[in-house]
Amino acid sequence: MPSRPVPSAERGRALVGGVGYTNLRDGSAGPLLAERLAGRLGPDVDVEDLSYSPIDVMFLLQRRPTYARAVFVGAVSRGAPPGTIRVSRWDPEPEPADAVQARVAEAVSGVISLENLLRITGHFGALPPEVTLVEIEPENETWGEGVTPTMERAMGEVAALLRSEALDAARV
């Protein structure tokens, strides 16, 4: 991979990361959004599908240019109506080391989740100073290709938010 200049965090470099399972219907929202938005959010925004081991994501973040901020997007079931979009600043209380170790064990076994990704990479200091979480409530998380019409609409709204810089907390 060719080397590139390392911009400072002050320049405002940003990461948009989609997280989820491919072929898990609405659970595929994060990776699908990453695919759709790649190269479309401006020269200072990297868009990546981060649907793999949080340890590998941590290594990726450590060898990349410094990001001032990141937005992580995925489907997360919290009991809200399907298609509900939740945007929040990621600023959790630290977890004890044994809880992080349990998350690492889950990740090694193939569990992919926004919270595991953020907890593990955050524990090891790999996250940018500013992190925004965008969760979309799924309707259908069974095996299969494509998302429901409800998720498709929500994904369109999230893409529009990112394109129009409406995610103020992330300024992406």
Residue 31 resides in a domain: yes
Average pLDDT value for residue range 66-74: 94
Residue 4 resides in a domain: no
Q: How confident is the model at residue 110 (pLDDT cuts 50, 70, 90)?
A: confident
Residue 97 resides in a domain: yes
Residue 16 is part of a domain; what is its CATH number? 3.40.50.1450
State the sign of the Cα–Cα–Cα–Cα dihedral 36, 40, 41, 44. positive
User: Contact 138/151 with Cβ under 8 angstroms?
Assistant: yes
Cα separation, 60 vs 41, in Å, equals: 20
Residue 23 resides in a domain: yes
Domain that holds residue 139: 9-163
pTM above 0.85, yes or no: yes
Residue 168 resides in a domain: no
| H helix count then E strand count, the chain | 5, 5
Q: Please give the tally of structural domains in the chain.
A: 1
Q: What is the DSSP letter of 170?
A: T
